[in-house]
Amino acid sequence: MTMTENLRQVIPFEEFDYQALMGALADYARPRDKVTDLLAKGVIVRVKKGLYIFGEKWRRQPYSREILANLLYGPSCVSLDYALHYHGLIPERVEAITSVTPKRANSFATPVGLFLYSNVPEAGFAVGLGRVELEEGRAFLLAAPEKALADKLRQGRGLGLRTQKECLGYLVEDLRIDEAALRDLDAGLLDELSQAYRSPRVALLAGLTRRLARRQG
């Protein structure tokens, strides 16, 4: 069995860290030299120091950029524009993976794309947090639609939204979110997020959601 075949047998996932890599190379002399060799041959690709994926020729399935986003900088969860598109709320495809974190804001330009991290208050980080299960037990953390939208509203500097009408205009005209999708949002979760974030804009969205739901009823 070649070193690459052994690596693929020991590491089942496409995304893995330095500890998993060293464990797979434990039986080899000078494992760090082996890592250098594997990188040079394109068997593995370094996303960031300590985080890797298999090269295209050796992949068994597509790697998950969402999983990589969680692993690159944590704790974090995928949110904002990327999550809004993931949930089908905004039409535009988002190339950068956008996430939120209770740590300081950060960004990483990597061989597999751009990863952006925005800060949110620690008290609200876990509110509206979901887990998306993939095959073989792989999973990543993703903001619920309400959290992704609350994060977007909170992040928008200079928006100057003071009324539900202004909020609706921004959501429908600027973000191009369908009004029917806004009616389906969980106003109770938005209330919880507005309190955790201490955000008048998110409170405005919660009230708007209730009004739209009542109008439909």
Give tens-digit pLDDT for 134-150.
Answer: 987 899 999 999 999 99
Query: What digits encode the pLDDT tens for the residues 19-69?
Result: 999 999 988 888 889 999 999 999 999 999 999 999 999 999 999 999 999
Among the residues of the chain, which ranges form H helices? Answer: 3-10, 18-24, 31-40, 65-72, 80-86, 122-125, 145-155, 164-169, 179-183, 187-197, 200-216
The confidence score (pLDDT) of residue 156 equals 77
Its domain, for residue 83, covers 65-211
Angle, helices 31-40 vs 3-10, to 10°: value is 100
Query: Closest Cα partner for 198 from 123, 128, 129?
Result: 123
Phi, psi (rounded to 5 degrees) for 99: -135, 165
Surface-to-core class of residue 132, CB atoms within 10 Å of its CB (0-12 exposed, 13-18 middle, 19+ buried):
middle
CATH classification of the domain holding 22: 1.10.10
pTM of the predicted protein model? 0.91
Residue 214: pLDDT over 80:
yes
* Average model confidence (pLDDT) across the chain: 93
Can you read off the two tokens belonging to residue 136? 């073989």
Q: Are residues 92 and 7 in the same domain?
A: no
Q: Are residues 193 and 149 in the same domain?
A: yes
Residues β-bridged to residue 53: 15, 45
Query: Closest Cα partner for 154 from 82, 209, 205, 78?
Result: 205
Q: Are residues 78 and 175 in the same domain?
A: yes
Residues β-bridged to residue 12: none
On whether residue 31 sits in a domain, the answer given is yes
Q: CB under 8 Å to 180, separation ≥6 — which residues?
A: none
CA distance 95 to 81: 10
Q: Are residues 16 and 44 in the same domain?
A: yes
Query: What digits encode the pLDDT tens for the residues 164-198?
Result: 999 999 999 999 999 999 999 999 999 999 999 99
Torsion 96-110-75-117 (CA) sign: negative
CA distance 117 to 80: 10
Q: Which of 58, 75, 104 is the last residue of a domain?
A: 58
